Structure 1
Amino acid sequence: MSNLFQKPLFTYVVMLFFIVLGTGVLLIPFTDNYLALAIVLTIEYIIFLNMISYFSRILIKPVEKAIDTMEEIQKGNYGVRLQNGPTMVGTLNTKINGLASHLNQLATKKNLRLEQLNTLVNNTESSLILIDERGFIQLINTKFINMFGGKAENYLSQLYYDVLENEACIKAVQKAFVSENSIKESFTHYIGIKKLYYEISGIPIFNDQNNLKGAVLVIRDITDLKKLESMRKDFVANVSHELRTPITSMKGFAETLLDGGMSNEETTREFLRIIYNESHRMQLLIEDLLTLSRLENENFRLVLNTINVKDITQDIIPTFMYHAEAKKLTLHVDIEENVVFKADKERVKQIFINLIDNAINYTPENGHIYLKVEKQEEYVHINVSDTGIGIDKEKIPRIFERFYRVDKARSRNTGGTGLGLAIIKHIVEVHEGEIEIESEVNKGTSMHVYLPL
Structure 2
Amino acid sequence: MKTYRSRFMTTLIFLVTGVLLTLGIVLGQLFKDFYLDSERDRLKEDAQLAALYLEGGELDEIREYVGQIDDGSSFDILLLNSRMEVIAGTPFRVGSIDYKIDPSMVPEEGTFGEADEDELIQYTKPIELATGGTVYLTFIRYVSDLEGVYNRIWLTIALALFFSFFIILFVLQHLTNQFIRPIDEATIVLRELADGNYRARVYELRNDEETGSLAGSINVLARNLESISLGESVQRARLESLIEYMGAGLLLVDERGIVTLVNRSYREMFQYDDLSIGQFYHGILPSPEVETLIEDVYLTEEVHRRQLSIRTGFNQKTYMVSAAPIFSDTGMLRGTTLLFNDITELKRLEKMRKDFVANVSHELKTPLTSIRGFSETLLDGAKEVPELRDQFLDIIQKEATRMQMLVEDLLELSRLERDDFQMELVSVDLNQLVDEVCLLLSQKASKKSIQLEAKHEGTVVLQADLNRMKQVIMNLVANAINYSPEGSRVEIAVEAKADSYKLRVKDNGIGIAEKEVSRIFERFYRVDKARSRNSGGTGLGLAIVKHIIDLHHATIDVESEEGKGTTFTITFPRV
Question: TM-score per shorter chain, which class?
Answer: 0.7 to 0.9
TM alignment of 1:30-429, pairs within 5 A: 30-31=33-34, 32=36, 34-35=150-151, 36-37=153-154, 39-41=156-158, 43-44=160-161, 46-48=163-165, 50-52=167-169, 54-56=171-173, 57-58=176-177, 59-83=179-203, 84-87=205-208, 88-89=210-211, 92-129=214-251, 140-152=262-274, 154-155=276-277, 184-202=305-323, 217-259=338-380, 265-309=386-430, 312-313=433-434, 315-335=436-456, 339-377=460-498, 379-429=500-550
More displaced stretch, 322-331 vs 204-213: 204-213
Question: In 2, distance between residues paired with 1:134 and 1:307?
Answer: 69
State the SS of the aligned residue for 2:206. Answer: coil
Task: State the distance in 2 between where 1:439 and 1:134 align.
Answer: 58
Q: Which amino acid aligns with 2:231?
A: K
Greater Cα shift, 88-97 or 172-181: 172-181
**Aligned-residue offset at 1:228:** 0.7
Is the Cα–Cα contact under 8 Å of residues 509 and 565 in structure 2 kept in the other structure?
Answer: yes
Secondary structure of 1:395's aligned partner: helix
For residues 507 and 342 of structure 2, the distance between their equivalents in structure 1, rounded to whole angstroms, comes to: 43
Residues 299 and 64 of structure 1, relative CA distance in 2, 3 Å threshold: closer
Q: 1:99 to 1:45 in 2, by over 3 A?
A: farther
Structure 1 residues 73-118: Cα deviation after superposition (integer angstroms, max 9, x where no partner): 2111233344443245455445434433443343233323322332
**Distance apart, 1:419 and its partner CA:** 1.5
Q: Deviations over 1:361-389 (max 9, x none)?
A: 11112211112234445655322211112
Higher relative contact order (CA 8 A, sep 6+): 1
Task: Give the distance between the partners of 2:322 and 2:355, measured in 1 at CA.
Answer: 28
Q: Is the CA contact 2:459–2:496 (under 8 Å) kept in the aligned structure 1?
A: no
Q: CA deviation at 1:359?
A: 0.7
Conserved 8 A contact 2:24-2:157: no
Structure 2: how far apart are the matches of 1:21 and 1:393?
A: 112
CA contact (8 A) 2:464 2:552 kept: yes
User: What's the CA shift for 1:304?
Assistant: 2.6
2:228 aligned counterpart, secondary structure: helix
Q: CA deviation at 1:62?
A: 4.5
Greater displacement, 228-237 / 256-265: 256-265
- Paired with 1:290 and 1:348, the residues of 2 have a C-alpha distance of 17
CA distance, structure 2, for counterparts of residue 25 and residue 346 of structure 1: 121
Determine which structure has more spread, i.e. the larger CA radius of gyration: 2
For residues 193-248 of structure 1, the C-alpha deviation after alignment (integer angstroms, 9 at most, x for no partner) is 31222223456678999998877544322221111111111111222222233333
Conserved in 1, the CA contact under 8 Å of 2:458 and 2:496? no
Distance in 2 between the 1:393 and 1:338 partners?
Answer: 34
Quick one: which amino acid aligns to residue 44 of structure 1?
A: L
Tell me which moved more, 339-348 or 136-145. 136-145
| 1:354 partner amino acid | N
Length-normalised TM-score, structure 2: 0.66
The question of whether the paired residues in 2 share the 8 Å contact of 1:13 and 1:49 is answered with no
Identity of aligned residues (%): 37
Q: 1:254-288 CA distances to partner (integer Å, 9 max, x unpaired)? A: 45555555676545544444443333322222222
Query: SS of the residue aligned with 2:453?
Result: strand
Aligned to 2:66: none
The CA deviation at 1:178 is: 7.8
Which SS does the other structure have where 2:567 is aligned?
Answer: strand
How many angstroms apart in 1 are the aligned matches of 2:231 and 2:214? 26
Shift of residue 321, structure 1, vs aligned partner: 2.0
The answer (yes or no) to whether the contact 1:16–1:45 under 8 Å persists in 2 is no
Q: Specify every segment of 5 or more residues in structure 1 that has no aligned partner in the other structure, as ranges.
A: none
339-348 or 421-430: bigger deviation: 339-348
- CA gap of 1:67–1:153, structure 2 versus 1, over 3 A, is farther
Two-structure CA RMSD over aligned residues (Å): 3.9
Write out per-residue CA displacement over residues 145-200 of structure 1, whole angstroms, 9 at most, x where no aligned residue: 333454457447x8878976656656666777887776654322221231222223
Q: Distance in 2 between matches of 1:11 and 1:370?
A: 108
| Number of the residue aligned with 2:562 | 441
Q: How much does 1:358 deviate? A: 0.7
Distance 1:109 1:282 in 2: 64
Q: Which moved more, 1:25-34 or 1:285-294?
A: 25-34
Name the count of aligned residue pairs.
448
C-alpha distance in structure 2 between counterparts of 1:306 and 1:344, whole Å:
8
